[in-house]
């Protein structure tokens, strides 16, 4: 399908790119899960201690729930990245269907003229 500005949507190329995206997203999900588990284990170990310096560090480090908020935001972003190929596939499919329908309508109108 060639658009008005000269760009072209080639479904096989889009599908190949989105398949690669799916693969990358799967790897990202797997690696993120591993990294999150390691960070949570490190935080749970509380290596900063319970002395005055440790408490001061904890108060500064966890201000605004920083580390946990970061982990939650990473998980949310990863989820969005993983879900995007399906949305792009649907958008491309819809675009191609609309384009085909418009071409058919225009062809029918031209035959009538």
Indicate whether 1 belongs to any domain. no
Q: What is the pLDDT of residue 3?
A: 64
Q: What is the pLDDT of residue 1?
A: 63
Q: What is the mean pLDDT of each run of 10 residues along the chain (113 residues)?
A: 73 90 92 93 92 94 91 93 88 88 85 76
Q: What is the pLDDT of residue 32?
A: 93
Q: What is the pLDDT of residue 4?
A: 67
Cα torsion 46, 50, 52, 53: sign:
negative
Indicate whether 9 belongs to any domain. no
Cβ neighbours for 6, distance < 8 A, ≥ 6 positions apart: none
pTM, entire model: 0.66
- Total tally of structural domains belonging to the chain: 1
Indicate whether 2 belongs to any domain. no
Cα radius of gyration (the chain): 25
Indicate whether 8 belongs to any domain. no
- Could you tell me how many helices (H) and strands (E) the chain has, helices first? 3, 0
Domain span holding position 32:
20-112
Q: What is the pLDDT of residue 86?
A: 87
Indicate whether 12 belongs to any domain. no
């Amino acid at each position: 399908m060639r658009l008005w500005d000269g760009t072209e949507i080639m479904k096989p190329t889009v599908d190949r790119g989105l398949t690669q995206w799916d693969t990358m997203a799967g790897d990202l999900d797997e690696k993120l899960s591993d990294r999150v588990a390691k960070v949570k284990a490190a935080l749970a170990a509380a290596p900063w201690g319970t002395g005055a310096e440790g408490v001061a560090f904890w108060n500064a480090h966890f201000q605004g729930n920083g580390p946990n908020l970061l982990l939650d935001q990473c998980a949310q972003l990863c989820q969005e990245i993983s879900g995007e190929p399906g949305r792009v596939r649907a958008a491309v499919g819809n675009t191609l269907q609309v384009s085909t329908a418009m071409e058919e309508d225009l062809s029918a109108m031209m035959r009538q003229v």
